[in-house]
Structure 1
């Protein structure tokens, strides 16, 4: 499956791949809203999951997000590139983007994925199921042990932050920081290679 995804990604332009990304996120939003319609008592059940608590956001969102980025950057620096190669999908998505585009991709993905995995699945089926499903959905990592372990640890880490805080904004912030910073890293690395 991972090789098939990589082959398809290589046939698409960066713009087409970005469009597919946004299309998949739109489909996840629809699935999330549909599932929450059946599992929640009302759509009002979403409201208590979003709490603006600056100290909580900093300690459980910003700092953990930056910690994950730092660990990933260190691993990328010292491990062979093949361990982090997802078939070139992330590279193709981020390498030619503007900072604003990277911001938007990271924002949309973090909000949408956290609403589904933490907001619906975690609250209704628990920490382990949500965290495992989050990792399994990243199917392109299944044949790459370092990426697979990273996404499993990240998933359980984000789930733990949600367990402790019951605040979806915390996991959204952490997820956003990770995706945004790593997207910037890919883009910056591609610019250095072109120079």
Structure 2
């Protein structure tokens, strides 16, 4: 059975629980892997820097630009090119803004800890960005969505290379997911 068919059979709450469960697994995996791949567990602290200037210039501003580009694309490219099997719509359409906030925050933290925090610091930028694309496999047969996830993945990796700061990539990822989640919720 295709993923889209499975998703359609799930209630919004079941899908939300599955999403949060999978993201929890990513977070736990990042902690476990760091125990084996980092010389010291305290290495995490060198990737977490509350540098407001970096957060604004490399996290907030690029994320808002990406969101604006995606919204413009939604208005000029036919809707069918953005169809991921209805998953994003099912995740965000009937959620409250608080739920969208929580979902976006959990996803941003768990995915950035795993992909940038562990995988990129251990195996490199190209490998981490490529693996990030692969886990978003529902986009692999959709050229527009695939192009967007490739650009976002490599941009996230580049921002981490540039700053060495997971807070920057978490903020970027959160803003993109949160604002696009709200856009999906209110779009017709």
> What's 2:97 paired with?
99
Per-residue CA shift, 1:9-43, capped at 9, x if unaligned?
00101110000001101111121111111101121
Give the Å deviation of 1:148: 0.5
Which of 148, 153, 165 is residue 167 of structure 1 equivalent to? 165
Which of 74, 77, 84 is residue 76 of structure 1 equivalent to? 74
- SS of residue matched to 1:132: helix
1:1-195 maps to which residues of 2 (within 5 A)? Answer: 4-189=2-187, 193=188
Per-residue CA shift, 1:152-186, capped at 9, x if unaligned?
11000011100100000000000000000000001
Structure 1 residue runs without a partner (length 5+): none
Give the Å deviation of 1:74: 0.6
CA distance in structure 2 between the partners assigned to 1:150 and 1:169 by the alignment: 22
Per-residue CA shift, 1:99-153, capped at 9, x if unaligned?
1000000000000000000000010111100011001110000110110111011
CA distance in structure 2 between the partners assigned to 1:101 and 1:43 by the alignment: 31
After TM superposition, where is structure 1 displaced by more than 3 Å over at least 4 residues in a row?
none
TM-score by length of 2: 0.98
CA distance in structure 2 between the partners assigned to 1:27 and 1:127 by the alignment: 22
Structure 2 residue runs without a partner (length 5+): none
- SS of residue matched to 1:46: helix
CA distance in structure 1 between the partners assigned to 2:141 and 2:23 by the alignment: 24
Q: Which moved more, 1:107-116 or 1:37-46?
A: 37-46
CA distance in structure 2 between the partners assigned to 1:71 and 1:133 by the alignment: 24
Task: Report the count of equivalent residues.
Answer: 188
